């Protein structure tokens, strides 16, 4: 897998999963400027991507096709200030926060992408990962396309632009492009007079619609709607294309949805609920917070153990720990202090001690765990490099026993649909028993969420279990292409 040194260093620090990005689009029918609203929406989605971000806007009453944009490396409040926000004048716009799962992390790969072509201008923000991006890219290259980035979002934008030349409108072009795309994609597309949202037929990644006054919003999570004071309207369905215009409001033409007969079974990414989503978000009608509470309850039922305190590894482990406590009656407590100024990725200092890297992000409250039997809940174990360090930190703080419970099943296979689960050889659960993993991380006991519990977390919604079972909703690529094309 091709990765630059920076990404390698970041992965050495914390054994976290990574999401790719969050998208946000808005069209204000009253003609008000939307850049500041996008800015705050991206703030709410910052957990979905912390390497780069961007905003692109257009004035629907101004010169047709004129798009103003600004993007850069870093967090939202690092990339934007009063000056560059004030220069983004327009009543329609899209925004994006990004984490790259492979390849170079560069400004050129930051989104939204702005594409000028014969029919006008497109602004596009994408969350997900195409498994046939190499083939689609090669097809475009043979037709003379010149690529400015290494992200498959550009491949999507090109195919929409190419389809638009022979279709009646941009939403039809999106539908035509979707016929070629394989994989996970939630899209927000800005044309000169329309805001369009599209979700892949499996619904891997979330996408929803909101409304505030005369403005309509399309975004990854409902928490972004709450942040800007908008009301939730509904989720965009798997395979659905939604077009928002002043004259027709929200329009969904099922004849343009892909596939039109709804024949493909949806398969939402379960880690949106276990880890990626903010706990105050709802996805496809399911509370992220409640799904994590349920995971903790199930762990208490299926993997009980006598202990004095239940603690969560921040942040996504906290709700599951509370669920375990509620079910078991064992007191819930706080054992970790998290450095709020450290994101899911940060620059690794030159040092020989890898343990100190984890301590930059987490520290143990000795008073909370000293002399106690501790149940520690985390959302996952990927490579195991973080788990053993945290277990060691708890023991150093005086914990008598450390029992680890994981609110997901063991990772046995890579993900090709937007979650940064590495190849099998890097997964601690590959070719190891739970007892062998327990010995490696140094816990007194170890328990995972049972596979059959997953559907109960999300009220029976169809989900993707590929990283646990190796059975994917659609055939994965023959080779691991995640290092060849940036997502």
Q: Based on C-alpha coordinates, what's the Rg of the chain?
A: 22
Q: At which residue do the structure tokens 């691991």 appear?
A: 480
Which region holds residue 196: left if phi is over 0, alpha if psi is between -120 and 50, else beta? beta
- What is 268-312 written as a DSSP string? EETHIIIIIS-TT-EETTEEHHHHHHHHHHHHHHHS----SEEEE
Which residues have CB under 8 Å from 213's CB, separation 6+? Answer: 28, 30
Separation of alpha carbons 346 and 470, rounded Å: 31
Separation of alpha carbons 115 and 60, rounded Å: 17
Q: Which helix (H) or strand (E) holds 114?
A: strand 113-117
Exposed e or buried b for every residue in 274-300, given b needs 16+ CB within 10 A?
bbbbbbebbbbebbbbbbbbbbbbbbb
Which residues are bridge partners to 96 per DSSP?
Answer: 23, 54
Decide: residue 72, CB within 10 A, 0-12 exposed, 13-18 middle, 19+ buried: middle
Which residues are bridge partners to 67 per DSSP?
Answer: 58
Strand segments (E) across 13-66: 21-28, 52-58
- What is 460-476 written as a DSSP string? T--EE-HHHHS--SSPP
Q: At which residue do the structure tokens 């975004």 appear?
A: 219
Separation of alpha carbons 377 and 405, rounded Å: 5
Tell me the catalytic residues. Answer: 21
Interstrand relation of 67-73 and 52-58 (parallel, antiparallel or unpaired): antiparallel
The number of CA neighbours under 13 Å toward the Cβ of 263 is: 3
């Amino acid at each position: 897998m091709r990765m630059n040194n920076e990404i390698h260093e970041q992965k050495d620090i914390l054994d976290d999963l990574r999401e790719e990005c969050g998208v946000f689009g808005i069209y204000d029918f009253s003609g008000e400027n939307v850049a500041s609203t996008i800015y705050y929406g991206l703030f709410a989605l910052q957990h979905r991507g912390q390497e780069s971000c961007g905003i692109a806007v257009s004035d629907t009453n101004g010169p047709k096709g004129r798009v103003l944009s600004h993007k850069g490396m870093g967090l939202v409040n690092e990339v934007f200030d009063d000056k560059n926000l004030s220069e983004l004048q327009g009543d329609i716009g899209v925004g994006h926060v990004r984490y790259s799962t492979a390849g170079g992390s560069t400004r050129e790969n930051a989104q939204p992408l702005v594409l000028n072509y014969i029919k006008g201008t497109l602004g596009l923000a994408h969350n997900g990962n195409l498994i046939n991006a190499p083939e689609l890219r090669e097809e475009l290259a043979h037709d003379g396309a010149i690529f400015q980035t290494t992200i498959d979002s550009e491949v999507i934008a090109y195919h929409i632009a190419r389809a638009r030349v022979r279709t009646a409108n941009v939403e039809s072009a999106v539908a035509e492009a979707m016929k070629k795309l394989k994989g996970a994609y939630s899209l927000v597309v800005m044309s000169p007079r329309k805001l369009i949202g599209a979700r892949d037929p499996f619904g891997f990644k979330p996408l929803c619609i909101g409304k505030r006054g005369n403005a309509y919003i399309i975004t990854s999570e409902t928490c972004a709607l709450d942040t800007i004071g908008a009301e939730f309207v509904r989720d965009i369905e798997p395979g659905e294309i939604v077009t928002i215009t002043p004259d027709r409001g929200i329009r969904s033409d099922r004849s343009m949805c892909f596939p039109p007969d709804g024949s493909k079974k949806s398969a939402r990414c379960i880690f949106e609920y276990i880890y990626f989503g903010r706990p105050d978000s709802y996805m496809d009608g399911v509370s992220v917070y409640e799904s994590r509470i349920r995971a903790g309850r199930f762990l208490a039922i299926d993997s009980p153990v006598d202990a004095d305190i239940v603690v969560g590894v921040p942040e996504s482990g906290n709700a599951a720990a509370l669920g375990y406590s509620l079910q078991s009656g064992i007191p819930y407590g706080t054992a970790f202090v998290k450095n709020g100024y450290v994101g899911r990725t940060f620059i690794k200092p030159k040092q020989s001690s890898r343990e100190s890297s984890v301590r930059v992000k987490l520290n143990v409250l000795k008073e909370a765990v000293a002399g106690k039997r501790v149940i520690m809940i985390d959302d996952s174990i990927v490579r195991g490099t973080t788990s053993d360090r945290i277990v060691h930190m708890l023991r150093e703080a005086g914990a008598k026993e450390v029992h680890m419970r994981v609110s997901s099943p063991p990772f046995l296979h890579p993900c090709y649909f937007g979650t940064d689960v590495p190849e099998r050889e890097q997964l601690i659960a590959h070719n190891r028993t739970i007892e062998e993993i327990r010995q490696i991380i140094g816990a007194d006991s170890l328990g995972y969420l049972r596979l059959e519990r997953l559907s109960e977390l999300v009220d029976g919604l169809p989900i993707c279990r590929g990283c646990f079972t190796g059975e994917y909703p659609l055939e994965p690529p023959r080779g691991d292409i995640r290092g060849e094309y940036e997502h």
